[in-house]
Structure 1
Amino acid sequence: MNQMLTPTPPVTRRLLPEGPARLPLTIVLLVTALAAILLPLLIVANAPRIVPVERKVAKVRPAQRVIPPAELPPVEPAVFVAVDPADARAYNASIPFSTAPLLPARPFRITGDEASIARATDCLTAGVLYEAGDDPVGQKAVAQVILNRVRHPAFPKSVCAVVFQGAERRTGCQFTFTCDGALARRYSQVAWDRARGVAAAALAGSVEKAVGTATHYHTDWVVPYWSASLDKISEVHTHLFFRWTGWWGTPPAFRGRYTGAEPLVAKLKGIAPAHSAAGDLIAPAEGTLAAAAIPAEAMPAPIAADANSFLVTLDPRLGTADYPAFAARVCGDRPYCKLMAWTDRADTPAALPADPRQTERMAFSYLRDRARGFEKALWNCERYERPDLGQCMKSQVFLSSPDRSDDLKLDMLPGGGLRSALGVGGGAKEAPAELSGVRRKSGTLAPPAPVVAPPVRRTMGPEVPKGS
């Protein structure tokens, strides 16, 4: 009998538990998944906040005061705050422009002989080209600033003297290209001719209204200390332009008289045609000539009005320390003798009283008065370092005269600095130690009040070296 065989069902392997045993494992997996999601969220939510570090810009000393019309504003040294270009731009952008009217300067029309005009044109050409590059827009702005300085009583009274002001001083130059070696680089003749056209037009009366009566400027990536003292009035490309606050920044203040004579500038020899004869003006090494070696026939004569007073141009070969010996030789056996000396013949006056700008550029003075047992030598310490401050000429505040507006008088008293011959009450006032420039009132950036030319007449004021 055949038996029918019943097939055996296949064996199935169980991977997960069934029933109640499966629940704990499911819970574990859910908890793990939630932890994987929530834990990163908790870490991000509770992480410390990253605060960007704010770049600190070195602060410029706040403005203090505005120089009144009876005083001449000093020209501050071109010293820069130690900040990187990005911080400088941020600081400069934070200074608002003045809301006072941007008044244009009067046209400047040069006078003088043909050779002098050519020298002025070449000096102005070098100034605009080396300061603004081959950019006619920037060149016109720079030319206007230079001519504004020529007319302002705080600066020299010739174009070349303004452009090269301070180039020989230890404290530095007003326009950096005159003392930083930039003149060793030559522009093409095409660029020079183009800049000379800008210079010639400015000297013939062309006015750049965009910069008004600006006497200072700087690029936006630097911060000069003087920038806190002046009003920011305009911007041309990357240059910011400034004028003095108060009356000294208004058109009536620009009443300085152009000398009509331009000196030869040795630094422009080989660059500017009109200065090609300046080779003999290149100063020999200082100290190569002793005062005792100067022959008697080479000694200067006294001025016509006073046989005991001398106005002299120093030989560049004389050492600074040898100036007193030179003065003693010039004075000879005179019991009373006064000597005033300059290093540039263009600055040396022909008679007394000297123009105050010439007096301020004086390099050395000497006074002997044997009747009083007095003998004193003084140096201009803006130019020469001296071991004793008692050997330095003193800066002065010059007060207004009640009776004259243009004629300037000055009495040089070695040991007492420069003194006003027509001060209030006949006395002389020395500059306060804190008087270091034109300053705004501390903490204020309010627009200045409308400026009205005052009735006060100015007697005199010094031009203090340095501030582009």
Structure 2
Amino acid sequence: MHDRTTQGVIQPPPGMRAVVGLVALATIAAIVAAWLLTPIAPPTAPRRALAVQPVVPPTVVPPVEPIEYADVDPDTAREINAAVPFSTDPNPAARPLILKQPELDRTRAQDCLAAAMLYEAGSGDPEGQRAVAQVVINRMRHPAFPATICGVVFQGQERSTGCQFTFTCDGALLRIPRPEAWEDARKRAGAMLDGAVYKPVGHSTHYHTDWVVPYWSSSLDKVVAVNTHLFFRWTGWWGTPGAFRGRHAGPEPVVPKIGFLSEAHRAGVEGQETLIDALDVAALGVQPVLQDGQGTFVMLFDRRFSANDFPALAASVCADRPFCKLFAWSDRARLPRELPLTDAQTATASFTYLRNRAAKFERALWNCAEHKRPNPNECMKPRLILPTAQTQGFRLEPAAKRASVPEPAPAPATPPLVGPPPVQRTIEPGR
């Protein structure tokens, strides 16, 4: 008999050892193959949870939160929004509002409402405009909000993140709408103040587009979708008809920032409340670094200011000048030291503002490499600046030898909000 122990450990026969070794090798090979063939998913970044606020009791007026969005891309935002179910509770229509006020107050209310409808929903969306108007009227009747139409629309407009309707603080008012688009919005606003009701949104007091996620959206009842906008009402008693018993408490305040649209907002009367921009450049110590006396300004908008404040600062500097060009930098080291500015210098600006009232043109643009904007149309276009050495000796052929340039195609009959008019530039032949 063979001794199959080594220091007390039983050893298998030689033939069995070979079998055990083959089984072990086969097992290891199977594990390695499975590991190699299994796809490795990329790590997923943790998503910030949207806090759900408790239902506010009827004895406590719910707070009105400033605008704050989750930092997600549009596709992810749509997924998050789609995951929130619509409320199955009743959605009764709001009561009609018939606004009986003196003519001036009535006109101011109508123009504030029209501005919200036009800038929030756009000129080509009558249904969206009426939905926005109904939200404004619902808010005016709710104790959590101001009791005037203009007070509701421009609530928090002095703060870049405090405004309740984003067009009042994001520079959108620099876009001048077509006269017919403005008049159409005014007519719809007038109808809403004469008792028209947009029933689908019920008693909604909040809304947002489906490609953003405000942090309050999961805390409210999701009521309805109107095109790309989602409408919400407060949960509990504060979202029921009983909470909307407030009445209009005029007079309507004057809002100078829509004076370019509304004559009723161009001047107030003695003792009349005025909603003015809080960004007083003189009080803030913001003065032009350079100016040429002809409406061109170079400014330093330092880190005290949000990028959303830039249009209000620019409008304050330009005051009532019919023509104004303003170039601002956030970095003092990049500030030019003399005028006129070169193309290379203007390409490094953090923000530009151009006003030409004779041409009915006004535009603000941001350097989006420094300040991200939700709308890419608000971004300055990158410029290709050729070094001087490359441009020496470059000459265009005389005009007689150049092919004629076709006239630009006419603009569409009903464009959206007016942007800059087509600019025709003539390139002089080199001398």
Q: TM-score, normalised by structure 2?
A: 0.54
- Equivalent pair of 2:68/2:161 in contact (CA under 8 Å): no
Shift of 1:59: 3.3
RMSD over aligned Cα atoms: 2.5
Q: CA 1:215–1:56 in 2, change beyond 3 Å: closer, same or farther? A: farther
Structure 1 CA distance for aligned equivalents of residues 46 and 76 of structure 2: 6
**Is 1:212 equivalent to 2:191 in the alignment?**
no
Shift of 1:58: 2.8
Match of 1:149 in 2: 139
Match of 2:60 in 1: 71
**Is 1:168 equivalent to 2:158 in the alignment?**
yes
Q: CA 1:87–1:116 in 2, change beyond 3 Å: closer, same or farther? A: same
- Equivalent pair of 2:148/2:252 in contact (CA under 8 Å): yes
Any idea what the Cα deviations from partners look like across 1:369-407, whole Å, max 9, x if unmatched?
xxxxxxxxxxxxxxxxxxxxxxxxxxxxxxxxxxxxxxx
Letter paired with 2:204:
A
Q: CA 1:174–1:100 in 2, change beyond 3 Å: closer, same or farther? A: same
Match of 2:249 in 1: 259
Q: CA 1:176–1:142 in 2, change beyond 3 Å: closer, same or farther? A: same
Structure 1 CA distance for aligned equivalents of residues 183 and 135 of structure 2: 20
Larger Rg: 1
Task: List aligned pairs for 1:17-416, cutoff 5 A.
Answer: 47-50=36-39, 53=42, 58-134=47-123, 135-169=125-159, 171-277=161-267, 285=280, 288=283
Structure 2 CA distance for aligned equivalents of residues 56 and 88 of structure 1: 15
- Equivalent pair of 2:57/2:236 in contact (CA under 8 Å): yes
Structure 2 CA distance for aligned equivalents of residues 44 and 279 of structure 1: 84
- SS of the residue corresponding to residue 195 of structure 1 reads helix
Structure 1 CA distance for aligned equivalents of residues 50 and 146 of structure 2: 27
Structure 2 CA distance for aligned equivalents of residues 109 and 57 of structure 1: 50
Shift of 1:160: 0.3
Q: CA 1:109–1:278 in 2, change beyond 3 Å: closer, same or farther? A: same
- Name stretches of at least 5 consecutive residues in structure 1 with no aligned partner: 1-42, 290-468
Shift of 1:80: 0.6
Which segments of structure 1 move beyond 6 Å, counting only runs of 4 or more?
43-46
Shift of 1:51: 5.2
- Equivalent pair of 2:258/2:265 in contact (CA under 8 Å): yes
Any idea what the Cα deviations from partners look like across 1:288-336, whole Å, max 9, x if unmatched?
59xxxxxxxxxxxxxxxxxxxxxxxxxxxxxxxxxxxxxxxxxxxxxxx
- Equivalent pair of 1:110/1:260 in contact (CA under 8 Å): no
Shift of 1:46: 8.0
Q: CA 1:80–1:236 in 2, change beyond 3 Å: closer, same or farther? A: same
Shift of 1:256: 1.4
Shift of 1:171: 4.4
Match of 1:401 in 2: none
Q: CA 1:123–1:61 in 2, change beyond 3 Å: closer, same or farther? A: same
- Equivalent pair of 2:160/2:169 in contact (CA under 8 Å): no
- State the identity %: 55
Any idea what the Cα deviations from partners look like across 1:114-160, whole Å, max 9, x if unmatched?
00000000000000000000110100100000000000000000000
Q: TM-score, normalised by structure 1?
A: 0.50
- Name stretches of at least 5 consecutive residues in structure 2 with no aligned partner: 1-31, 285-431
- Equivalent pair of 1:166/1:172 in contact (CA under 8 Å): yes
Shift of 1:44: 10
Structure 2 CA distance for aligned equivalents of residues 51 and 197 of structure 1: 59
Letter paired with 2:238:
W
- Equivalent pair of 2:205/2:233 in contact (CA under 8 Å): yes
- SS of the residue corresponding to residue 233 of structure 1 reads strand
- Equivalent pair of 2:136/2:152 in contact (CA under 8 Å): yes
Shift of 1:98: 0.6
Shift of 1:189: 0.8
Shift of 1:270: 1.0
Shift of 1:60: 3.4
Q: CA 1:171–1:200 in 2, change beyond 3 Å: closer, same or farther? A: same
Structure 2 CA distance for aligned equivalents of residues 68 and 95 of structure 1: 23
Shift of 1:276: 2.3
- SS of the residue corresponding to residue 117 of structure 1 reads helix
- Equivalent pair of 2:99/2:193 in contact (CA under 8 Å): yes
